[in-house]
Amino acid sequence: MPQPHLWKRSEVIDALDQPISNPYQVLRPTDASVKPNKHAPDPMKWLEENSNNKYAETAKERDFWRSVPAWGKHISPKPRAALISLVRNSELEGLMQSMRQLEYHWNRKYNYPWVFFNDEEFSDEFKAATQNLTNAQCYYEVVPQEHWSLPDWIDEGRFMNSLEYLGAIGVGKGWMVSYRHMCRWNSGFFYKHPRLKDFDWYWRVEPDVHFFCSIDYDIFRFMRDNNLKYGFNMNILDDARSFPSLWSRTRSFINAHPEHIHPDADLDWLLDNDSPSSSSSATFSSAGGGGGSGEYNNCQFFSNFEVGSLAFFRSAANEAYFNWLDRAGGFYYERFGDAPIHTLSVAMFVPKSEIWFFRDIGYQHDINRHCPPNSAHRCDCEPTRLDENFYKLVPLESPQRKPADTCIRRFLGGGGLVEKKEGWNADVERAWGGDGYGGYVLSGLE
Ligand code: GDP
Ligand code: MN
C-alpha cells in the first residue's frame, strides 16, 4: 500500500509568501461577551505549537489505531472522533468529491474513520467506492426507523398542509417529507446512533462540498485540548419562513428551564432590538412568554459544516431543548432546520469561549463559499470577504428580520469588527446602491 504523503515542516514553511506572526488574530470574539479567565486554554498558542502536522500518523500508527476495538476509552491519547455523513446511495459521486478533497487536504495525514448514515442500506457500490478513497476505517450505518419517521403526536393532516404551503410559497425543499426527517435527525438523533457510542467528536461532511485548504493540524485534538464544544465556518441568514415559531418556542423554553442556560452563555449576538435595517413586519410578532428583550435576528451557523462535541449534544440541556421543540411539532408543522436549532442550542448552553470560528478552513456548499484571506493556509481559492455569505440565501429585499451588523460580526463582537468609520451612514450607502452593511473599520481581511 502506498504511504500517505506527510507534509514536512520545511514544505509548509516554504509555502509561506511572507512571515505572518499570527494568521488567526482577528478571528476570535474579543468583546465583553467572553469572560476573561487566565486559566482558560489558549487556542492560538495551541496552533502555534501543534501545527505543521505534528500529530500526522504513520501507516503503522494508523494500523494500530484501526486495530483497537471501539477506540478503547482508557488507552486513547487520540481523540475518539469520526467524520460523519448522512447521505443517499444516489449521492455517491458528490460524496466522493467531498471525500477526495477532505482526504487530500487533511484526513490522509490523520486517518479518522468515516461513518456513513443512510435511511436505507448502503449499496455495495457505495461501500466499495468510498472505502477506496481512504486508508481509514469506514462504517456504513442505517438510521433506526424510529429516528426517521413521523412521531405519533403529529397530526398528519396538519403536516400535509405544511408541505403544501411551504412548497407553494417557495421555501427550499418545503414540500419534501424526507427533508423534514433529515432536519429532525440532524437536530436530535445523529448523536444517539449506536455507532457513535464510542466516539466523542464528529465532523459533519455533506456530498458535493469543497475543501480548499491544506489543514496542517489535528482538528479534533485542537477541539479537545482547548475545551471547545462547537466549530463552524459560516454564520449567515437563511429563510426564516421555515421556522416562524422557533424563537417563541425557544423563549418559552428559556422561561420554563432557566437552569439549563449556561451562566457564561451569550445570546446577545443573536438578538436584535428593532434597528433601521430590520423590517417592521417582524416574523415573530406572535412571540409570547417574555424572557429577555430582543427578537431572534435569524443568524445561524451554516451546519452542513460543523465540528462538534457529541457529549455536548447528548447533554441534558440540549436534549431538553430538542424534545421541547420536537413535542411542539415544528419539524413537521413548520420546517425547522438543524442549523438554527444547533445555533440557538450552542448559544444558550455553551460559553462563547468554547465556540470556534474555523476561519482557516476553505469550504464551499452550493453557492456559499468561505475562503481565508491568509496565504499561510495554503488554499486553492480566492479569499472571500468576512461578510461574503451573510445574505446570499436571503435576498436583501425579503421582509424577514435581519441583524444590524452581519452575522459573523455580531458573533465576533468587539475588536473593531462592529465599529463603523466616522461619518459613515447606512442610508447614504443604500441611496448609492450599496447594501447598507459597509463602512466597517476593519474589513476582516487584515
Ligand atoms: P441542504 O444542504 O439544506 O440543501 O440539504 P441537503 O439536500 O444537502 O441534505 C442535507 C444532508 O442530508 C446531505 O448530506 C444529504 O445527503 C442528506 N440527506 C437529505 N435527505 C436525505 C435522505 O432522504 N436520505 C439520506 N440518506 N440522506 C439525506
Ligand atoms: Mn447540502
* Of 83, 85, 86, 148, best ligand 1 pocket probe by most atoms within 8 Å of the beta carbon: 86
Measured from the alpha carbon of residue 140, the closest ligand is 1
DSSP string for 279-342? -SS-TTTT--S--SS-EE--EEE-TTSEEEEHHHHHSHHHHHHHHHHHHTTTTTTS---HHHHH
Lowest mean pLDDT across 8-22, 72-86, 289-303, 432-446? 8-22
Question: Distance (Å, rounded) from C-alpha 46 to C-alpha 167?
Answer: 47
Is 12 a residue whose pLDDT tops 90? no
Question: Distance (Å, rounded) from C-alpha 116 to C-alpha 309?
Answer: 18
Is 284 a residue whose pLDDT tops 80? no
Specify whether 306 is catalytic.
yes
- CATH superfamily membership of 9-431: Spore Coat Polysaccharide Biosynthesis Protein SpsA; Chain A (3.90.550.10)
Catalytic residue among 91, 103, 295, 306: 306
Is 103 a residue whose pLDDT tops 60? yes
Q: Going by CA atoms, what residue is nearest to atom 28 of ligand 1? A: 87
Question: Distance (Å, rounded) from C-alpha 397 to C-alpha 280?
Answer: 13
Task: Give the pLDDT of residue 71.
Answer: 63
Q: Going by CA atoms, what residue is nearest to atom 18 of ligand 1? A: 87
| CB-based contact 141:115 (threshold 8 Å) | yes
At 206, give phi and psi (nearest 5°): -110, 160
Task: Give the pLDDT of residue 239.
Answer: 95
Lowest mean pLDDT across 13-22, 119-128, 268-277, 428-437? 13-22
Task: Give the pLDDT of residue 16.
Answer: 35
Question: Distance (Å, rounded) from C-alpha 305 to C-alpha 284?
Answer: 27
Is 148 a residue whose pLDDT tops 50? yes
Task: Give the pLDDT of residue 216.
Answer: 95
Is 83 a residue whose pLDDT tops 70? yes
| Ligand 1, atom nearest to 143 Cα | 26
Lowest mean pLDDT across 17-21, 54-58, 104-108, 225-229? 17-21
Task: Give the pLDDT of residue 69.
Answer: 64
Measured from the alpha carbon of residue 84, the closest ligand is 1
Give me the residues near ligand 2 (ion), CB cutoff below 5 Å.
206, 304
383 band by pLDDT with thresholds 50, 70 and 90: very high
Average pLDDT over residues 66-81: 77
Is 17 a residue whose pLDDT tops 50? no
pLDDT in tens, 339-376: 999 999 999 999 999 999 999 999 999 999 999 987 67
Where does ligand 1 bind, in terms of residues with CB under 6 Å?
A: 86-88, 91, 118-119, 178-179, 182, 206-207, 304
Task: Give whichever of 12-16, 20-24, 144-148 has the largest mean pLDDT.
Answer: 144-148
Average pLDDT over residues 396-410: 92
| Ligand 1, atom nearest to 117 Cα | 26
Q: 209 CA to middle of ligand 1, Å?
A: 12
Measured from the alpha carbon of residue 95, the closest ligand is 1
| Ligand 1, atom nearest to 85 Cα | 14
